[in-house]
Amino acid sequence: MILTLTPNPSLDRTIELAGRLERGEVQRAAATSAHPGGKGVNIVRALCASDIDALALLPGDPGDPVITALRKERIPHLSLPIGGPLRSNVAITEPDGTTTKVNEPGPELTPAQVTALLELTVSQSDGAAWLVLAGSLPPGAPVDLYARSVTAVRQAFGTAAPRIAVDSSGAPLAAVLAAAPDLLKPNAEELAELTGIGDAISLEANPELAASAAQTLVDQGVGAVLATLGSQGAVLVTAYGTWLAKGPAILAKSTVGAGDCALAGYLLAALRGDSPAQCLQQAAAHGGAAASLPGTQVPTAHQIHPHAVVVTALTRIKEN
């Protein structure tokens, strides 16, 4: 079973435009959709679409629209009541796949609620194969919440603890490095910010440089780094090898949640016992399939084609 923690979930609304976004103008939507969201929630949605046993942990009152949507979509979840509404996020997509997002900060959690969420995560981690700590942190949560979660779960279960993946950004992502998670899933922008190597454009254009940046994180104790590079594919760096995955060209309809689906694909393959290269292949296939769908839809098994993804071993380069 794969468990996810989403401390700052949302109701994700997507507005699809028939043409370019015109700033300051009135435009009509071609279509709209809404789904329960947040990185960990998206990962569970994607895993459930592939018939993988998964559970989403998150704050939220029983009548909150996010929790109601999870029930409606039959997404397995456990929620911690917080006595206030969760946030809503809006994504505006253009026909060429360009996506503009407006994310609310989320409700402020009290110290007691943060502690309760951490305790819920530890208790539910018993017997899980993977624990994924995902997304931004809400106001009131300590910046090292993910680092604390890694430590608490490993102290509770020792060698029987689940493997732990982290998909976040900014200070929470930087703070978790000291806890040495088993897997990090940054995009190019997050990888550049975390390592100080290059920027999003240069890392996407140069997978070898992205691999070199990811290698610095593995050298610090992280088990593996799965770095998604947009249309340029993804790289996987471990202590034992480095690989690049490139899928076929697609017509991107929405990039919202594509990285979450990529991580879901990696975890699905890891759960099967696939090799690192095969896990990367599945990740790239999942991410590409998600980007080809509108809104925040997640791909089903028949929409995902891992054998169309080419994986090659990379020779690492050193950053000067």
Is residue 311 a contact partner of residue 281, using CB atoms and an 8 Å limit? yes
Among candidate residues 64, 167, 260, 274, the one labeled active-site is 260
Q: Residue 199 catalytic?
A: no
Mean pLDDT over the full length of the chain:
93
Going from the C-alpha of 303 to that of each of 51, 95, 221, 286, 297, the distances in angstroms are: 14, 20, 35, 9, 12
Q: What is the pLDDT at residue 191?
A: 98
Predicted confidence (pLDDT) per residue in 163-217, tens digit = 999 999 999 999 999 999 999 999 999 999 999 999 999 999 999 999 999 999 9
Q: What is the pLDDT at residue 238?
A: 96
Task: Kindly tell me if the per-residue pLDDT of 96 is higher than 60.
Answer: yes
State the DSSP H helix or E strand holding residue 71, giving kind and residue range, or none if neither. helix 65-72
- Average pLDDT value for residue range 290-295: 80
Task: Kindly tell me if the per-residue pLDDT of 301 is higher than 90.
Answer: no
Q: What is the pLDDT at residue 284?
A: 95
Domain formed by 2-313, architecture: 3-Layer(aba) Sandwich (3.40)
Task: Kindly tell me if the per-residue pLDDT of 319 is higher than 50.
Answer: no
Going from the C-alpha of 34 to that of each of 31, 90, 179, 228, the distances in angstroms are: 11, 9, 35, 25
Task: Kindly tell me if the per-residue pLDDT of 317 is higher than 60.
Answer: no
What is the C-alpha separation between 137 and 172, in angstroms, rounded?
8
What is the C-alpha separation between 5 and 150, in angstroms, rounded?
12
Sorted by where each begins, the domain ranges of the chain are 2-313
Predicted confidence (pLDDT) per residue in 24-79, tens digit = 999 999 999 888 999 999 999 999 999 999 999 999 999 999 999 999 999 999 99
Is residue 191 a contact partner of residue 229, using CB atoms and an 8 Å limit? no
Q: What is the pLDDT at residue 295?
A: 67
What is the C-alpha separation between 281 and 214, in angstroms, rounded?
18
Q: What is the pLDDT at residue 316?
A: 53
- At residue 217's C-alpha, the angle toward residues 270 and 282, to 5°, is 25
Predicted confidence (pLDDT) per residue in 223-279, tens digit = 999 999 988 899 999 999 999 999 887 777 767 778 999 999 999 999 999 999 999
Compute how many other C-beta atoms are within 10 angstroms of the C-beta atom of residue 86: 25
Q: What is the pLDDT at residue 318?
A: 44
- Average pLDDT value for residue range 98-108: 91
Predicted confidence (pLDDT) per residue in 108-149, tens digit = 999 999 999 999 999 999 999 999 999 999 998 999 999 999
Q: What is the pLDDT at residue 315?
A: 67
320 pLDDT tier (thresholds 50, 70, 90): very low
